Amino acid sequence: MPRIAVLDKDRCKPDDCRLLCMRVCPKVKTGDEAIIIDEETGKPVISELLCSGCGICVKKCPFNAISIINLPEEIGEPVHQYGINGFRIYSLPTPKNAVVGIVGSNGIGKTTVLKILAGELKPNLGSNAEWSEILERFRGNEIQNYLEKLASGEVKAVYKPQYVESIPRYVEGTVRNVLEERDESGRLENIVEALDMDSCMGKDVNSLSGGELQKMAIAACLIREGDVYLLDEPSSYLDVSERLNVARAVRELSGSNVFVIEHDLVVVDYLSDYVHIIYGKPGAYGIVSNIKGVRVGINEYLSGYLKSENVRFREELSFSVATPSEISKRSELVKYPPLEKKYPGFDLRVDEGVLYKLEVVGVLGPNATGKTTFVKMLADVIKPDNREIGCNLNVSYKPQYIKPSAETVRCLKLKTCVIKKLGLAHLLESRLDELSGGELQRVAVADCLSRNADLYLLDEPSAYLDVEERLRLAKYLRRFSEDNKSSVLVVDHDILLIDYLSDRLMVFSGESGRHGRASESLSLRDGMNLFLKEMNVSFRRDLDSGRPRANKPNSIKDREQKKKGEYYYTR
């Protein structure tokens, strides 16, 4: 059985632990060089041949930097490995002249495979392979032709990077300038309309919100002519209708090779023809599954079992719709009258309503329609224009955008139970500005939940979290509200997450930055119906997994459901 040893070089701090792994390794003690020191970096190098796999160093390393894993024989050699004791990826996705979704945890190798397909990273087969060896390895495979083209530099790849926040650092001018320069296909005007970008075309790139940057980056990708289009997490910062617009625009390219990495499963489902699942151990190794039809693939991903491979890669991510607790048994946290608030150019109206203790309320609605303003009124940070509420709740708030400082996670004084539940123990010594997007998000959520409050507001906690982290967070938030006898309001645009965590739902509507209107908190069914009617999209439930799936526009189901006014919950 091949054994791999992977060292996370960012986490490894030999000066702090005085090379504990070497000191505890039984093989080193008896004179074998199972672990030696790299003279250049001062960090350990683990020999996969000499290591016996006892796992003592893995347990003892104070920074969780080592993984020792036995893999099945059939796995063969990796397609690519980042150096000695580095992460490795086995097999590659298949280009299909269709839209192929790629799902998997953070750190499992999704970006690595996109880089290989883009020709940015030459696969090294674990060491230093030449193209001739790579082509030999994939002879007779569906991907052989594609790799031949990559080897001869004939593939033109168009890439939408994951992190859009950094775009203003290397792109200047107005959105229109930026996009016109890149319009190779003449599709610009169509795409501007499809993504509803009219209002931001004249803005300077420096002044864009996260959502506007995301749409510009996607448009810049879709207007180019390429052999392959690679989109890394296109839905971050976008609200539900924007996500669906993007999905429809991407589908227009469905005759080309399109790969999309995405953690919003409703979006993956809506835009893809096929999916690949990447499984393994984050940070250590990833295996790309066979290509699967989109419905079956997503269900297998949630179930943790790949049928054609006969592989169980984790326990099922159980997916059950929340059974709303009986409201009559709950005590009120706050009862508020109809509220109004005006800012220059913006007005908000909130229907009167009640929030109960011990409940999680999902909040759906476009960006900039007054969700934060509403919560600030409850917290008495700002006064409504029409009357006093006088409830003076203690509120803890996680904003949508998180600016990391240079201090360490430990400085935030997170509560021990929250650290444990959100799996952050290994990050305590890390600096906030060195965390990955998903890590920073979990730390920001933990920071919000570690304060004492009556009401917690989490604004888009799913951004940069993978599917597993999203569903685990949902489960934890439900537990948290019960244990802390508090209420949690979660604003998010991932419908699957909202469906999974909400006892009830508030729906904000209106026009971003101009008018906002908030409903009282409704049952999940009524809230979803109200929201989806506004979006003009109907959803059904998957018969096998129970997850929500968007109906294709104008399909028989779509027409039937809309006629009945059943935008949601219909089986």
Query: How near is the Cβ of 63 to ligand ADP at its closest, in Å?
Result: 15
Return the residues of window 309-348 that contact ligand ADP according to CB under 6 A: 343, 346
CB hemisphere CA count around 59 (13 angstroms): 6
Question: Would you say 524 and 541 are in contact if contact means Cβ atoms under 8 Å apart?
Answer: no
14 binds, among ligand ADP, ligand SF4, none (CB under 5 to 8 A by kind): ligand SF4
Query: How near is the Cβ of 18 to ligand SF4 at its closest, in Å?
Result: 8
107 binds, among ligand ADP, ligand SF4, none (CB under 5 to 8 A by kind): ligand ADP
What are the residues whose beta carbons fall under 8 Å from the beta carbon of 344, sequence distance 6 or more?
none
Q: How many residues bind ligand ADP (CB under 6 A)?
A: 22
Determine phi and psi for 315, rounding to 5 degrees.
-70, 160
Query: How near is the Cβ of 24 to ligand SF4 at its closest, in Å?
Result: 6
155 binds, among ligand ADP, ligand SF4, none (CB under 5 to 8 A by kind): none
94 binds, among ligand ADP, ligand SF4, none (CB under 5 to 8 A by kind): none
> Which CB, 43 or 251, lies closer to ligand SF4?
43
User: DSSP letters along 201-263, please?
Assistant: TTSBGGG--HHHHHHHHHHHHHTS--SEEEEE-TTTT--HHHHHHHHHHHHTTTTSEEEEE-S
Separation of alpha carbons 102 and 114, rounded Å: 10
Among 563, 103, 17, smallest CA distance to 294 is for 103
Among 328, 337, 413, 339, smallest CA distance to 383 is for 339
214 binds, among ligand SF4, ligand ADP, none (CB under 5 to 8 A by kind): none
| Using rule CB under 6 A, residue 85 touches ligand ADP | no
Separation of alpha carbons 428 and 412, rounded Å: 9
419 binds, among ligand ADP, ligand SF4, none (CB under 5 to 8 A by kind): none
**Residue spans of alpha helices (H) in 252-401:** 265-271, 294-303, 371-378
User: DSSP letters along 426-478, please?
Assistant: GGTTSBGGGS-HHHHHHHHHHHHHTS--SEEEEESTTTT--HHHHHHHHHHHH
Of the candidate spans 26-34, 67-75, 100-108, 529-537, the one that interacts with ligand ADP by CB under 6 A turns out to be 100-108
> Which CB, 395 or 427, lies closer to ligand SF4?
427
Of the candidate residues 81, 94, 303, 369, the single one contacting ligand ADP (CB under 6 A): 369
Binding site for ligand SF4 (CB under 6 A): 7, 12-14, 17, 19-21, 25, 27, 34-35, 44, 46, 51-57, 61, 63, 65-66, 68
> Which CB, 4 or 458, lies closer to ligand SF4?
4
| Using rule CB under 6 A, residue 106 touches ligand ADP | yes
Q: Point out which residues bind ligand ADP (CB under 6 A).
A: 82, 86-87, 104, 106-112, 283, 343, 346, 367-373, 513
